[in-house]
Every structure is written in structure tokens, then in C-alpha cells.
Amino acid sequence: MPSVCEFMKRLDLEYLIRAAGKIGQDSEIVVIGSHAILGQFPDAPESLLTSAEAGVFPLNRPEKSNLIDGAIGEGSRFHQEYGYYALRCARMRSVLQRGYENQSLTCCEG
Amino acid sequence: MRTRKSLQSKSRGRPRKLAPLSAAERMRRMRARRKAAGYREISRWVPQQITGAAYSSHRLAEARSLAMHAAMAQKIEREPPLLDIPRQNMERWRARWSDKPPPWWREWCALLQRPWPEIAALITEPSENAARLRQSSPFVGVLTDAERMRIYEAFGS
């Protein structure tokens, strides 16, 4: 059973994904980097979650990455309010394993 | 008449071939072997074709973060009361994380106790450790929206 603090970390990520989805008008947001582990392991050890940023990109609307970056990126009001933020990741510049789409997990819906 | 010394030297080393290849023929055969192995002869400088990006978007974000923190440090230098903003942010975030804040919060808490010149030097330092700390910086809110957007635009965001 995860502790309250660990559960909140997962909730933080879900909140960030929902915000990115609304701004990017995309129902599929890919999370890249250390925080992606929360998708499979909500109670991941804190040593793996050492930063306040979560790398994201909208899978179907990559052109909206800049909007997400501006609205909930570093230095944004979202960042100031919640203490964490979205880091824009360019899909083309990310080194992804072939077939990563099939290996990704659904973290939250709606 | 052969001397004993000359007979000894003849018996040493690799035995002579009956029909030895010329140097040119040996080179031709070596090139053929390399070609068969997939090597290509390149007699001029050919720049390596970079298929992916030569830089990562994360590196760009780090540079942008450094620029933002340099602007924040300049602004706090001019208006020292702005140093209250990171402290207020820390307090607000502390309330959100109940009794167990994340490790970076605890690290920043200790760092903000230092004198301002030390903090300024740290947040504007182009080192790996400073880049890591800037990823969870409490200095958000020191720059206005317009100042932040100017830096974002300068980095093509």
C-alpha cells in the first residue's frame, strides 16, 4: 500500500498529464524520463524522482508542444502554484525504442 | 665455399616461397579482401552523416533555464526583497506535500539559508549539479510573464 506522499506524486503526474492534454488538445500524452516510472510503479522510490519536471509530448499533436511548454512549463504560474512542471520533449529528438507505443502504459484517462 | 655462419643464417626465419608475390600484387589482394569484408576506400574527408539530432531538447531546456536564472539573479540583485518569493514558494509547496516533502525540497531549503551571493553564484553556475538543482528551482515567479516569454522566445519556444 503506497504512503500518502507517494500516492500524491502519482496524482501530481496525472494532474500534469490532464493539463497537458487539455492544452495540447490531445487525449494521448507521452511521458518521458524519470517520472514515467510512476505509470507502472506509483510507489517508486523517491531517489528516482529527483526533479520537479516531467518530460511530456502530445502524441498526435506535436505542434502543440510549445503551448504546453509555455502554459505549464518552467517558470509558469502552474509551476509556481504546484511546484512541478512539464518539460517539452520533441518526439523527433527523443531516442525511443522501436515499438515503444506498444510497450507504453495508460497512466490515467479522462 | 660456404662458411658455417652463412649456412646458419639461411636456416633461420620464414622459408622462401617459390613464386613470391610482388608488393603491388599483395596490395591488390589486401584491397580485394577488405572490399569483400565491406570496407570502403575513402581518399578524402567525408563528414559523418548525423541521422538524429546533434543536440537534445533537454539540453536546450537546460540552457534556457540557466538564462532564466541569470535574469532572476540580476533582478534580485537590483531588488533584494524579491528573495522572499522563493521562500514563499517553498512554504506553499511544503503545505502540499504534507509531512514528507520530496528530496529536492529539502535540498533547496538548506541552500536558501546561505547568503545571497552564494545562492546567486549557485543558480547561475553552468555545472551539472547546478543544472540538476535548477530543474526544481523555487525561484519561479521572480520574473514577470513578459520577461519569461522573452527568454522563451529567444530559445525558439
Interval A98-109: pLDDT, tens: 666 666 666 665
pLDDT band at A2 (very low <50, low <70, confident <90, very high): very low
CA separation for the pair B48, B146 (Å, rounded):
41
Query: B137 and B105 in contact (C-beta within 8 Å)?
Result: no
Mean pLDDT along residues A81-104:
71
Distance from CA of B127 to the nearest CA of A (A): 16
pLDDT band at A77 (very low <50, low <70, confident <90, very high): very high
What integer best gives the mean pLDDT of chain A? 78
Look at B61 and A82 and tell me if their CB atoms are within 8 Å. no
CA separation for the pair B156, B64 (Å, rounded):
10
Report helix, strand or coil for B29: helix
| Grid cell at residue A5 | 506522499
Query: A73 and A55 in contact (C-beta within 8 Å)?
Result: no
Look at A9 and B149 and tell me if their CB atoms are within 8 Å. no
**Whether B82 contacts chain A with CB within 8 A:** no
List, as ranges, residues 85-114 from B with C-beta within 8 Å of A. 89, 92-93, 96-100, 102-105
Chain B positions in Cβ-Cβ contact with residue A70 (cut-off 8 Å): 149, 152, 157
Question: B13-17, B27-31, B130-134 — which is least confidently predicted?
Answer: B13-17
What integer best gives the mean pLDDT of chain B? 85
Look at B92 and A4 and tell me if their CB atoms are within 8 Å. no
Query: A56 and A108 in contact (C-beta within 8 Å)?
Result: no
pLDDT band at B8 (very low <50, low <70, confident <90, very high): low
Chain B positions in Cβ-Cβ contact with residue A92 (cut-off 8 Å): 53
The continuous run of DSSP H or E covering A88 comes out as strand A85-88
**Whether B149 contacts chain A with CB within 8 A:** yes
Q: Name the phi and psi angles at A85, rounded to 5.
A: -155, 170
Q: Quote the pLDDT of residue A21.
A: 92
Cα nearest neighbour of B139 on chain A: A75
Q: Which amino acid makes up residue B97?
A: W
Exposure of A13 by Cβ count < 10 A (0-12 exposed, 13-18 middle, 19+ buried)?
A: buried
Distance from CA of A100 to the nearest CA of B (A): 17
